[in-house]
Amino acid sequence: MAAPGHAMPPAQAGRSAVPDWLPLALGFLAMLAPSLVGLFRGIWSTEEQAHGPIILALSLWLIYRKWPEMLAQSAGARPARAGWPLLAVSLLLYVLGRSQHILSLEILALIGTGLSLLLLKRGWIAARILWFPFFFMLFMVPLPLPLVTTLTMPMKMAVSYVTEHLLFLAGYPIARNGVILQIGQYQLLVADACAGLQTLLTLEALGLFYLNLVRHTSPFRNIVLALLIVPISFTANVIRVMVLTLITYYFGDAAGQGFLHGFAGMVLFISALLLILSVDSLLQWIVRKRQAGRAPTVGAST
């Protein structure tokens, strides 16, 4: 007979070989999988919500990037009790959103469930390290339709107004009636997808992602760049509408509404990224000039 303590019962050995987080992960995946299938087949296949998969992929990459740091700093941390009420509310929202086809509640519930599991397993330290990826996921949540409708029309009017005046100053035969642009013999309706609230929010997410990635040490540089994200996003929207208008003017309506319309969407994000990089470079130059002006003069007489 083996000495006591030298052998482990098979049932206990089997339980110790299974990580304690595995049932939680499997339960979360059981919630996540059908929701993702529905999103990819539904709103994420539309132009207005096509940013959803991009936001999700970037969020998961940010979590992957911070995961080793989170594991190292939260080792031995106490579970946060706040995770239990958050988990209960998230599960309730998931049942309500899934059964009533309310996508906003369903996506919010998935984000809340993931955060609650993190709190229950690794505590507040882990939540502090991974707070930005979970905040970034909120950009996947569709806004209420009345709010989108209310805010989108003024934005489309502003983009149409600026586009008309810039192209008119450039010598193009363009006129405007509300959000309808008339250039040559062609009429273009500035749609929600071209200059709407969701597009602005997507560009806002891009700017915040850039800020989180570069992590400047200068508070001035961070604050100014964060404030300028809104006009940068508006400018990128104007560039996109101008590109679509010129494509239609030179190549016809079929080109403007066909393949090149999708290409204009790429122009939107490329323009926004280049504007963010340009403004950031200008702010870096300003910060360096300010630091150089504050530096004491070497060799000054006393």
User: Which residue numbers are catalytic?
Assistant: 194, 240
Scored b (16 or more CB within 10 A) or e, 37-70 reads: eebeeebbeebbbebbebbbebbeebbeebeeeb
> E strands within the chain?
174-177, 180-183, 186-189
Strand order through the sheet with 186-189? 174-177, 180-183, 186-189
As given in the structure block, the two tokens for residue 138 are 């909120």
Read off φ and ψ for residue 57, nearest 5 degrees: -65, -45
Scored b (16 or more CB within 10 A) or e, 258-275 reads: eebbeebbebbbebbbeb
CA–CA distance, 216 with 222 (Å, rounded to integer) = 6
Read off φ and ψ for residue 174, nearest 5 degrees: -130, 145
Helix (H, G, I), strand (E, B) or coil at 144: coil
Q: Are the C-beta atoms of 99 and 91 separated by less than 8 Å?
A: no
